Chain A
Amino acid sequence: MNESLEEYSVGLETLAKKLGLDYYPVDFELAPASLMTEIAVYGLPVRMPHWSFGVRYIHQLVRQSMGHSRIFEVMFPGDPCHAYLMDGNTIAENTLVTAHVLGHADFSKNNALFARFHEQAGANIIEMAAAHAHRIQQAIDDIGTERVEAVLDAALALESHVDMDKELHRSPYPTRADAKKEQPKNPFQARFERLPEAKAAPEEVPEHPPRIPVPPHPEYDLLWFIAQYAPDLEQWERDIFLSVRAESLYFYPVFACQIMNEGWASYWHARLLREAEFLPQPLYLSAIKAHSDVVRPFAADEQAALQVNPYHLGFTLWERIVEQRGMDEARRICREEDDFGFVRNYLDRELAESLSLFAYEAKNDGEIRVVTRDLNAIREAILAPKFNYGAPRIAATEMRQDGTLVLTHDHASDGRGLDVARGNRVIQYIRRVWRRPVRLNTVDSRGEPHELSA
């Protein structure tokens, strides 16, 4: 079976190159189901140990055993890319998956978000994550499970709290306002100082320029901020925080481009299979059947789905973009957009209607109701879970004299306050690594200011 798969994949790659796909080489590996499950749970083939992954692992096993979830492929961009195919899948399925992976490989080489991380982190995320896991295991052996776990509790809880616009290797804030001298004086100040009476006062320029407070501005890159500024943080603890941050920055493009990326890969697997004349007809048919199982709006026995299948939405959008605007334009969109731009700019009324998309509301009593078929509402409902990496916007705003860390929740942007019980637990996690009091300002359910502290 492997031989024919290899033969087909050579054919598919030749075809892909001919059709203009541009990607780093891909290493394919056939993996057993158990490894595929773990990759789906951990996000990476080798990753740091933490009990919370154990919970996700059991959930995943339960979902798989009930047939709610099936893994076909996992792909890690890089140079070379790594793709894991399920060794239990049929050859038709794996042929489809191979073509799908080539689409991902093309996307991840060209999309700006992916390219930026690639540039900063180097080519091999799998090895990077394995090195992190190795160092953390070392710390567990040297220091003990309990203490390392406490640090991981905090770091992984803040996994999504990174600033996506900041570099992977970020330097600390400047400590003093050295640049002050060069700052052009404002003309009013300059004239004022030349007035005869005012001579004496402004001459007392302090010996040192004033200290810049930490943080100088609300800092949303919490993992970095704690790694950099937590009082008494030990080196191994800082290392854990920065490891989690690096992996989080790696996951961000995958998260932020899911619809585009899966759609693009689906577009290409469909097209490559269609144009691959070397594939035997029966294999092509079963591969296309697998395609329509994945790229479908909802299960055949249901009237409606309460989730928009990103494969289906992305696939439909890309097909139309290529059809109406041409491949060059499609490739430009592929380079420049993420899901926000993609959905807002290219999901139009006509398409929303033909896909019969709607926005719904699920009440706590279990009632689910179609709210509207308004286009903007649909777009925002699709994008809402993606804002700010799917996490509330929380910034470090102040470090007091006694070391107290003050966090502030930007409730105005998020539209409401924080879940208090969870918020309290998270700041307790943080308290253990910050080793000083931690306070968090948010609002309660009535919109009144509310402070959590640990």
Chain B
Amino acid sequence: MSGPLLEVRDLAIQFGGLRAVDGVSFVLEQGEILGLLGPNGAGKTVTFNLISGVYKPSSGEIRFAGRRIDGLAPHAIAALGLGRTFQIVKPFTSLTVLENVLVARGVDRYGRAASLWTPWRSRRERDAAMALLERVGLADLAGRKAGLLPLGNLRRLEIARALAVGHKLLLLDESFSGLRHEEIARLEALVRDIRAQGLTVLLIEHNMRVAMGLSDRIVVMEYGRKLAEGSPEAIQQDERVIEAYLGRKGEPHAS
């Protein structure tokens, strides 16, 4: 397969009179970490939801691994190897941490009538799920009910589940927010490690230090449009980006 792993072209969605995403285009190359930045309400999470199929775009095109996925249902897109986390964590609260990952491990089975009826409590499934928990550092909490975990651990659980689903592309929606310093450092190492394995990552991040440190390239959004695109260094120097975040020099701050 040649060409970029993910290609978003002229993507737009309208909620009533609001164009939440308005003609956004970008590409994501195989093995790249792309950071999606922008002030609150810029349309980053909506873009994620468009790519993962939660919303259907009003117009535009999304290509993933060579095929068009805009208009497909979320479960169909997941089955193509796209895993995602949620900004507002969505654990299966009454299942254990291990069972949460086992659900995600079944991604290849839910679409096929025959493999639906295979047991999930096998040693093989368990070991594979434990390995994922090991990677995100939750192995010792495997038997705990997910509803009892604090936010930091839930974010890691989300990543473990997304890893089980996304063998091609990972969408991380503010996976670092609300975490302590050492947790952030661990997750950064994890994301680098994930990329080193050949996975591609698209991340939304508010923590500038994390976003700049991790991303190979950055796309900045504002008011549903793409404002700038480039390397972290170039973005940090970009007048328009500075203006979007800090306001124009000499102009009173609108509030």
A, B assembled together: no
Residues of A with Cβ closer than 8 Å to B? none
